[in-house]
């Protein structure tokens, strides 16, 4: 799948404010400073789409991006950043939970995992929460070009060992580098397949 145009649409703090759910939608979420904005820009081939920052906790709303007038890419606040006030963290959690569970056109959540650090319990806990709430998700291991990642060559096996303490098998996963465009084509193809299934389903409904 090629992407020809992407642009920012709007930001919201409540599910009721979000755009009309009239197209397939994909949410990106991960711990703060996991490289989410860089990954979004890489996927859409638009370095100015999502604003990158060295300061964790910059994303504070549900941010919608239009991709080729066909689907929405949604940027969600990160989790696990201790310097954010507790009250704010609770608000973010409620906002994210409501969106994830009740957004009817959400096709998949992309859960970003930093490949430069050892397995984090907060990532496992969030994956467990997605599973318990029947939210389809895949894993995206980021920053695979970094020096710390090269030193941690067993990051995937280490994560699998922790993850499989709770699950019987690993979900679909992608290994990425925003700097080298690693994983971009695979993620695009994955989204394209789901988009086709979504359109076929919509056609069946309209025929009925």
pLDDT above 90 covers what percent of the chain? 73
Checking if the pLDDT of 42 tops 70, the result is: yes
User: Residue 154 — very low, low, confident or very high, per pLDDT cuts 50/70/90?
Assistant: confident
Mean pLDDT within 63-83: 87
CA atoms of 65 and 67, how far apart (whole Å) = 6
pLDDT band at 78 (very low <50, low <70, confident <90, very high): confident
- Name which of 62-66, 145-149, 181-185 the model is least confident about: 145-149
Question: What does DSSP assign to residue 52?
Answer: P
Q: 46, 52, 60: which is closest to 7 by C-alpha?
A: 46
Q: How many residues does the chain have?
A: 208
- How many structural domains does the chain have? 1
Q: What is the pLDDT of residue 193?
A: 97
State yes or no: pLDDT of 102 exceeds 80. yes
Please provide the average confidence, as pLDDT, over all residues in the chain.
89
Q: Does 95 fall in a domain?
A: yes
Which stretches of 36-111 are DSSP H helices? 36-44, 86-102
Place of tokens 């859960």: 111
Residue 53 inside a domain? The answer is yes
Q: Which residue has the tokens 């649409």?
A: 9
pTM of the model: 0.91
Is 179 inside a domain boundary? yes
Supply the DSSP symbol for 55: S
The answer as to whether 51 is a domain residue is: yes
In a domain, 1, yes or no: no
- The separation between the first and the last C-alpha atoms of the chain, rounded to the nearest angstrom, is 30
pLDDT of residue 146: 81
Distances (CA, A) of 139 to 23, 114, 123, 183: 22, 10, 10, 12
What is the average per-residue pLDDT within 98-120? Answer: 96
Which of 19-23, 77-81, 163-167 is predicted least confidently?
Answer: 77-81
Indicate whether 97 belongs to any domain. yes
CATH at 114 = 3.40.50.300
pLDDT at 208: 61
What is the pLDDT averaged over residues 162-186? Answer: 96
Contacts of 25 (CB under 8 A, 6+ apart): 71, 72, 73, 74, 103, 105, 106, 107
pLDDT at 124: 96
> Is the pLDDT at 82 greater than 60, yes or no?
no
Residue 80 has a pLDDT of 65
Q: What is the mean pLDDT of residues 177-187?
A: 96
Q: Is position 38 within any domain?
A: yes
Q: How far is CA 158 from CA 63, 119, 165, in A?
A: 32, 7, 12
Enclosing domain of residue 24 = 6-207
With b for 16 or more beta-carbon neighbours within 10 A and e for fewer, the 100-121 pattern comes to beebebbbbbbbbbbbbeeebe
On whether residue 42 sits in a domain, the answer given is yes
């Amino acid at each position: 799948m090629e992407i020809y145009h992407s642009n920012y649409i709007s930001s919201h703090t409540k599910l009721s404010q979000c755009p009309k759910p009239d197209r397939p939608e994909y949410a990106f979420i991960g711990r703060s400073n996991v490289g989410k904005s860089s990954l979004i820009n890489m996927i859409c081939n638009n370095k100015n789409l999502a604003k990158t920052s060295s300061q964790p906790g910059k994303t504070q709303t549900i941010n919608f991006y239009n991709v080729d007038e066909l689907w929405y890419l949604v940027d969600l606040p990160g989790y696990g950043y201790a310097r954010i006030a507790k009250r704010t963290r609770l608000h973010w959690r409620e906002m994210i939970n409501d969106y994830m569970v009740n957004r009817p056109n959400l096709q998949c959540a992309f859960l970003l995992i930093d490949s430069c650090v050892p397995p984090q319990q907060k990532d496992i806990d969030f994956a467990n929460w997605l599973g318990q709430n029947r939210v389809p998700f895949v894993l995206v291991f980021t920053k695979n070009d970094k020096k710390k990642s090269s030193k941690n060559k067993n990051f995937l096996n280490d994560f699998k060992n922790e993850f499989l303490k709770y699950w019987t098998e690993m979900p679909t996963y992608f290994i990425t580098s925003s700097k080298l465009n690693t994983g971009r084509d695979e993620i695009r193809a994955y989204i394209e397949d789901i988009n086709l299934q979504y359109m076929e389903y919509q056609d069946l409904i309209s025929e009925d």
